[in-house]
Structure 1
């Protein structure tokens, strides 16, 4: 519990929010909202993986 990487908690919650946005967009039958949510998910997950790689290279993880 003491070794929590809070940046990854933020990324995971943001990814969950983007996935929820996709579901909401499907429910609303709104293609533009779905596209924005998908792009947000790609952006958040890409940054999360990039951050993880950077931290591994620095020896933090």
Structure 2
């Protein structure tokens, strides 16, 4: 448990929340909320991958 990278846990929880928001938006038939959730998902996952690359280059991962 000591090797957990908590920043990645937070990124993954944010991505899961965005995916859930997409499902809720589809259920509500709300296109603006769906688009907002998709954009949020792309930004969160992009930042996660960018952070992982940066940590790998620094030798921290």
- TM-score bracket relative to the smaller structure: over 0.9
Q: Distance in 2 between matches of 1:2 and 1:9?
A: 13
How many residues are matched? 61
Say whether residues 1:39 and 2:39 are aligned partners. yes
The equivalent residue for 1:56 is: 56
Q: What are the superposed Cα offsets for residues 14-34 of structure 1, whole Å, 9 maximum, x if unpaired?
A: 000000000000000000000
Question: Any stretches of 5+ residues in structure 1 without a counterpart?
Answer: none
CA RMSD of superposed structures (Å): 0.2
Partner Cα distance (2:40, 2:49) in 1: 14
Tell me how far 1:55 sits from its aligned partner: 0.1
Q: Look up the match of 1:27.
A: 27
1:10 alignment counterpart: 10
Q: What's the TM-score once normalised by structure 1's chain length?
A: 0.99
TM (normalized to structure 2)?
Answer: 0.99
